[in-house]
Chain A
Amino acid sequence: MQIPYVTLLGKAVRKIALLRGGGSALPGLFIETIDPDFIKRTLDQLPQGIVIVSGTNGKTTTTKMTVELLESQGLKVFTNRTGSNFTRGVAAALLGEVDKKGNLDADIAVLELDEAHAIQFIKTIPPRYSLLLNVMRDQLDRFGEIDATAKLLTKIAVSTTDTVILNREDPRIVGISSSLKDQKAVYFGLSPKLLTLFPNDDDIHGQPATLAHSTLPAEVILSDLNDDAAQFTIGDHTVTTTLELKGVYNVYNAAAALALARVVVGDTLDETKLIDTLAHVTPAFGRGETLTIDGQPLELVLVKNPSGFRLSLSSFKPAGYQTMIAINDNYADGRDMSWLWDVNFDTLQPGGVSTVSGLRAYDMALRLQYDEVATAHVDTDLAASLQYFIVNGAGLPKRIFCTYTAMLTLRRELAKITDVETIS
């Protein structure tokens, strides 16, 4: 088949999949099958190459920030916005963007890829830049051990053709720098006073913090933080800005996105526009995204590993909110429930939890029982539980902590009763 027809057909499959309310996997699979060279051929056109964003926590929000920061500098950016961070998701996203001849109108691609899938991806197309955020315990059933995860990230780093942007406060990420060959390494970091806000995996699990908190020179440092504003040290000066993003970890990842933008744009960078844009970046879907139900806010907070859940509980204070927790154990969520036992739920004790749901609702309820947190309603059926949660919490702000596939179901249910942004 000639290439334009393949592209057209792929676009048609994507449209049908969207109409069915389906995800990005099917059209991606279709194009991968009949045109295996599609991704490489399309992305090779980009004059400024590809950025890969990887690591355990914060990929989606960091990617979103990076895209908006680069756009503020006049670049046209392609990205995989669905959070479907598999090669197939990239193919599906590309199908949405290319014209009928298969041309992509963009200067640069910023792609969120999970560690394991990034390894497949870089075999086809080496990135010009990579941004490696952190290595935390996540989905150990998929990756084995976190040292193995660090090795996957190292492979991404050494396949990078220009610059690798690294988190200098994560010893496993810093360790990657010793494997670099021709790549430049640029760091983002924290001021010493903020270190306790962002424990790395070893800090969390009681390792002596001998390797961490290095004094490596950093391109961008998050130097101060309070409820309303963040201060960044960029090169030799500091800037202070308010942020719409919630969650302390998002603010730290802003330092990562700023560092990346500086590297990509170089001397022509317009810092005023850059910071102004950063101030207005809103959360990625399901990452503290706020919907409105009966005039009250309902926040969706994605949780997928102990460190992320812990940070979410400390960033989103429970007082004044009705809380629901929805835990699934599908492949994309991770099948192993052990991780719930590495999170401390004490902060939920005063108000209790209104609703616990998801395929593993009873595992979650059991976990809360051992932290002596009261649960009002436990039911594995997500739609019914959501109903209960909304009716029972009428007139109050609400927050749902949910795993990835639980979030997809909840967003679909919520779309029936309120405005939910469609992500395609």
Chain B
Amino acid sequence: MNEKRITILQLYPKDMNIYGDWGNVLVLKRRLEWHGYTPVLIEYNPGDSFPSDIDLVLGGGGQDSGQDTVQKDLLSISANLHDLADSGTPMLMICGLYQMFGKFFKAQDGHIIEGISLLDIETHAGPERLIGNIVTASSEFGDIVGYENHSGQTFLGTNIKPFGRVVKGAGNNGQDDTEGARYKNVIGTYLHGSILPKNPNIADFLIEKAVIKKYGEFTPTVIDDRFAELARNVALKRPR
């Protein structure tokens, strides 16, 4: 049988898994199956050797305590992640790992936690948590619905585009109207909820990029996304 494998690397599932990030993994696995591919999931935790032949990378949010454990390890695999990103590997980084994919996180007491500078962003500890339902608009993906819960405020550098523009909610920092960041096929965002179930076009974007990079072409199956559409419509109308 000529099964077509797509290997998903999940970064730090032991420490960075809060807020239903498992939902993103599940959605990618299932949709790959439905599209006719065989998903292979590799979990990467601190101290593991970095695997080869990765087609798609996922990373989630965590407790502040989880981020300390992870930061040092992340710096040690920075070159691997840069290589993957620069060669067009799709990645989705949520919340905590989105921040750590940037240049730095400046904590409340002023000390700097260095990131891997894959995204031209910087994050500063904020005075309050930005919490609630969020809707953003993207020329690439249309309306994106999710839920945000973060105290860090992220600011984009000059060389990077936002993932979406805030329609409802706070976004990167509650000040400009940006949410998330886009670099090549890397998406960084504060949205969970989880993000991929209710935004299946983003899931399919990641899958398409991974499949084309590996196999040259991608023929999607039509998936019944009726419940996702209805859930989106409800989410758009719910209070913050």
Listed in ascending order, the chain A residues whose CB lies under 8 Å from chain B are: 137, 140-141, 144-147, 205-208, 329, 335-342, 359-360, 362-363, 365-367, 369-372, 378, 380
Verify if B40 is at the interface (C-beta below 8 Å from A): no
Tell me, in angstroms, the Cα distance from A140 to B131 when the chains sit together: 9
From 1 to 35 in chain B, residues with beta carbon under 8 angstroms from any chain A beta carbon are: 13-15, 17-23, 26-27, 30
Contact partners of A380 in chain B: CB under 8 A = 234
Q: Give the residue of A205, A338, A365 whose beta carbon is less than 8 angstroms from that of B23.
A: A338
- 10 tightest A-B CB contacts, nearest first: A341-B23, A338-B20, A341-B20, A362-B231, A362-B230, A366-B227, A206-B14, A338-B19, A365-B227, A336-B147
Q: Which of B158-166, B191-199, B211-219 contacts A (4 or more CB under 8 A)?
A: B191-199
Chain B interface residue bracket vs A? 35 or more
Listed in ascending order, the chain B residues whose CB lies under 8 Å from chain A are: 13-15, 17-23, 26-27, 30, 63-65, 129, 131-133, 147, 149, 151, 192-194, 197-198, 224, 227-228, 230-231, 233-235, 238-240
Tell me, in angstroms, the Cα distance from A336 to B191 when the chains sit together: 11
> Does A141 lie within 8 Å of B234, measured CB to CB?
no
> Does A205 lie within 8 Å of B17, measured CB to CB?
yes
Tell me, in angstroms, the Cα distance from A337 to B148 when the chains sit together: 11
Q: Give the residue of B63, B151, B227 whose beta carbon is less than 8 angstroms from that of A362.
A: B227
Q: Give the residue of A341, A362, A366 whose beta carbon is less than 8 angstroms from that of B22.
A: A341
Contact partners of B238 in chain A: CB under 8 A = 329, 335, 359
Tell me, in angstroms, the Cα distance from A337 to B227 when the chains sit together: 14
Contact partners of B240 in chain A: CB under 8 A = 335
Tell me, in angstroms, the Cα distance from A369 to B226 when the chains sit together: 10
Q: Give the residue of B26, B149, B224, B231 whose beta carbon is less than 8 angstroms from that of A360.
A: B231
Tell me, in angstroms, the Cα distance from A147 to B63 when the chains sit together: 8
Most buried by A among B17, B20, B21, B197: B20
> Does B193 lie within 8 Å of A336, measured CB to CB?
yes
Q: Give the residue of B17, B133, B231 whose beta carbon is less than 8 angstroms from that of A366.
A: B231
Residue in A closest to B65 when the chains form the complex, CB atoms: A147
> Does B18 lie within 8 Å of A137, measured CB to CB?
yes
> Does A341 lie within 8 Å of B231, measured CB to CB?
no
Q: Give the residue of A137, A146, A342, A370 whose beta carbon is less than 8 angstroms from that of B197.
A: A370
- Taking the closest CB of chain A, its distance from the CB of B63, in whole angstroms, is 5
Contact partners of A363 in chain B: CB under 8 A = 198, 231, 234-235
Contact partners of B30 in chain A: CB under 8 A = 370, 372
Tell me, in angstroms, the Cα distance from A231 to B161 when the chains sit together: 61
Residue in B closest to A208 when the chains form the complex, CB atoms: B14
Contact partners of B23 in chain A: CB under 8 A = 338, 340-342, 367, 370
Q: Give the residue of B14, B19, B20, B64 whose beta carbon is less than 8 angstroms from that of A207.
A: B14
> Does A341 lie within 8 Å of B26, measured CB to CB?
yes
Contact partners of B198 in chain A: CB under 8 A = 363, 366
- Taking the closest CB of chain A, its distance from the CB of B23, in whole angstroms, is 3
> Does A338 lie within 8 Å of B14, measured CB to CB?
no
- Taking the closest CB of chain A, its distance from the CB of B46, in whole angstroms, is 11
Contact partners of B22 in chain A: CB under 8 A = 341-342
- Taking the closest CB of chain B, its distance from the CB of A329, in whole angstroms, is 6
Contact partners of A329 in chain B: CB under 8 A = 238
> Does A360 lie within 8 Å of B19, measured CB to CB?
no
Tell me, in angstroms, the Cα distance from A369 to B235 when the chains sit together: 18
Contact partners of A369 in chain B: CB under 8 A = 224, 227
27 contacts between A and B (CB under 8 A): A141-B131, A144-B131, A144-B149, A145-B63, A145-B64, A147-B65, A205-B17, A206-B17, A207-B15, A335-B132, A335-B238, A336-B147, A337-B193, A338-B147, A338-B192, A341-B21, A341-B23, A341-B26, A359-B234, A359-B238, A360-B234, A362-B227, A362-B231, A365-B227, A366-B198, A370-B27, A370-B30
Tell me, in angstroms, the Cα distance from A340 to B192 when the chains sit together: 12
Tell me, in angstroms, the Cα distance from A141 to B235 when the chains sit together: 16
Contact partners of B26 in chain A: CB under 8 A = 341, 370-371
Residue in A closest to B29 when the chains form the complex, CB atoms: A370
Most buried by B among A208, A342, A366, A380: A366
Q: Give the residue of A144, A207, A208, A367 whose beta carbon is less than 8 angstroms from that of B129.
A: A144
Residue in A closest to B237 when the chains form the complex, CB atoms: A359
Residue in A closest to B195 when the chains form the complex, CB atoms: A338
- Taking the closest CB of chain B, its distance from the CB of A405, in whole angstroms, is 13
Q: Give the residue of A206, A339, A342, A371 whose beta carbon is less than 8 angstroms from that of B13.
A: A206
